């Protein structure tokens, strides 16, 4: 089945352009012009990915992303944000809210399609799954995408899941920000914006894991590691 993409953009020309190029690649397309309409469609149709403009009538893109991440039914839904070139603060906020990627206007349609393809590929479970991973009372099952901390289920976004999986797989070794950006976010080169969003995701992951979140340690000037033992 082709992936379903919801395009949320209030400018008809841009919305039609995005729909045209994704449609040519075989994706099923739905569109929305307001934040409220976007939330109604995601609740009703469960798209595989949401392309979300920041500046929207009714409810802006930041709030839409925040609500998607707060709802367990849509928390793992991949989101790509569209931002204006000058809005660095908006890009930082969007990534901190849990967006999986962002595309800056004006953009190349070819780059946009490549970003969509990459995010969907990272979000899609691989057929060959590794064994369950654990550290202390934290458990992660790659096959079912189930995470628990001290026996209680934990709902994670796709980026939080991938981040925890990378840390658990390293079994206590330090992972640099550059490594995590490449492995989790798919960025070959780090920028200040992407480096900061790693720190935000780590803080959010620690909070969701409760007391066990203290196992995720910051190694100064090096990166992050997870303490596998008590």
Bridge-based pairing state of the strands 216-219 and 223-226: antiparallel
Q: What does the pLDDT look like over 168-195, one tens digit per residue? A: 988 899 998 888 887 787 765 555 556 7
103 pLDDT exceeds 90? no
DSSP state of 134: E
All domains of the chain, ordered by start, with CATH? 4-123 (3.40.50.2300), 133-226 (1.10.10.10)
- How many angstroms separate the most distant Cα atoms in the chain? 56
Which range is least confidently modeled, 12-16, 85-89, 102-106, 108-112?
A: 85-89
* Six token digits for residue 140: 């992660």
Query: 């798209």: which residue's tokens?
Result: 47
Instruction: Yes or no: say if 97 and 157 are a contact pair by the CB < 8 Å rule.
Output: no
Angstrom distance (rounded) from CA 50 to CA 73:
14
Contacts of 210 (CB under 8 A, 6+ apart): 149, 150, 152
Angstrom distance (rounded) from CA 10 to CA 216:
40
Contacts of 22 (CB under 8 A, 6+ apart): 5, 7, 29, 113, 116
30 pLDDT exceeds 60? yes
């Amino acid at each position: 089945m082709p992936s379903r993409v919801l395009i949320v953009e209030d400018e008809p020309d841009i919305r039609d352009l995005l729909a045209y190029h994704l449609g040519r690649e075989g994706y099923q397309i739905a569109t929305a012009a307001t934040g409220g309409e976007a939330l109604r469609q995601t609740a009703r149709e469960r798209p595989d990915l949401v392309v979300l403009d920041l500046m929207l009538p009714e409810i802006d893109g930041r709030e839409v992303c925040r609500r998607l991440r707060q709802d367990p039914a849509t928390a793992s839904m991949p989101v790509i944000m569209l931002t204006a070139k000058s809005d660095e603060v908006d890009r930082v906020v969007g990534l901190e809210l849990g967006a999986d990627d962002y595309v800056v206007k004006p953009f190349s349609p070819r780059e946009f399609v490549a970003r969509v393809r990459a995010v969907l590929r990272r979000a899609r479970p691989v057929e060959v799954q590794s064994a369950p991973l654990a550290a202390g009372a934290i458990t992660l099952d790659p096959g079912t995408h189930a995470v628990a901390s001290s026996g209680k289920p934990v709902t994670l976004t796709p980026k939080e899941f991938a981040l925890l999986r990378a840390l658990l797989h390293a079994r206590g070794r330090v992972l640099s920000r550059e490594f995590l950006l490449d492995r989790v976010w798919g960025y070959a080169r780090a920028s200040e914006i992407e480096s900061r969003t790693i720190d935000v995701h780590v803080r959010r992951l620690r909070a969701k894991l409760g007391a066990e979140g203290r196992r995720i340690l910051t190694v100064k000037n090096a990166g992050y590691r997870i303490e596998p033992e008590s």
